[in-house]
Homo-oligomer: A and B are copies of this chain.
């Protein structure tokens, strides 16, 4: 900036005024400064600026996702980015990989970079460790799962309701022998989905203790094996609910292997590309990651703008999408 000032023959403060579009600079000096800055290819240093600037904003936020390569996370990321880009806010994104220690380390890395806010998918057992920052009014929105040990904004899918919808859909198609295949129970959303599914069966008068529940499935292969085992039992289910994409894929593989794709009903939680191109099409409870991202961005911006209302949890409804696999009648 000094060089620009020298070249334009003005004080550095005047350069600062021009670069920030502040009033009180005559048109002629403005042009002179602009010319000099272009000639030197000068660009304002945002970090240095926010050091002194009142409010001290860095116009950047931190985003913690299960993995940036996960399509669901990608959609959230994209929606957030779009909402924040309008305000010139850049996004630091990082992957957690189900590692609670990484969660803390990354939060710390973002804090050290003085982000204006944090959007995070909680992984660790408790998020109490960010209480100091939260109390200091660092804007913070949790997504996908509600945080534990801290009262903060959260944006989540109606997991239990969605799973219950799946259950009642299968019941309505005449199924009485249903099975639940789910992810690890440490994951809050997995627990919620199971609860919603089982409770709905209970409301319909089914002996829920007799409903096969297979949990702890975190990849395609374990889900495939669990489904094969279930379907090979004496009294196999006529309908399966899978609580997550990878589990759904595993079940699909098992059904295909057994040639049972058109005989056993399947409803999966989470939509996925080409679900409608499968044979049959896969009926799903779709989440709306783009709405989650958008809503999270809105909440975060509101907090950044000084909203001090009590934290709340915002629920984004899921949606049942009929494609065939969920409408197969019991055999």
Contacts and interface: CB of A to CB of B under 8 A. Distances in A.
Nearest to A249: B274
A45 B75 CA distance: 31
A256 B277 CA distance: 9
A212 interface: no
A259 interface: no
A95 interface: yes
A79 B44 CA distance: 31
A93 B71 contact: no
Contacts of A74: 68-71, 73-74
Interface string A64-96: 000111110111011001100100101111110
A60 B73 CA distance: 21
A41 B132 CA distance: 7
A205 interface: no
B77 A93 contact: yes
B68 A95 contact: no
Nearest to A41: B132
B67 A78 contact: yes
Interface string A97-130: 0000000000011111110000000000000000
Contacts of A45: 112, 114
Given A71-B74, A90-B92, A47 B273 contact: no
Nearest to A276: B253
Chain A interface size, as a band, is: 35 or more
A301 to B, nearest CB: 17
A114 B75 contact: no
Contacts of A110: 90
Contact of A47 (B78, B85, B114): B114
Contact of A46 (B113, B132, B277): B113
A327 B67 CA distance: 35
Interface of A: 41, 43-48, 50-51, 58, 60, 67-71, 73-75, 77-78, 81-82, 85, 88, 90-95, 108-114, 132-133, 249, 252-253, 256, 272-274, 277-279
Given A69-B75, A274-B274, 9 more contacts: A43-B111, A46-B113, A46-B114, A51-B51, A60-B92, A68-B68, A249-B273, A249-B274, A277-B278
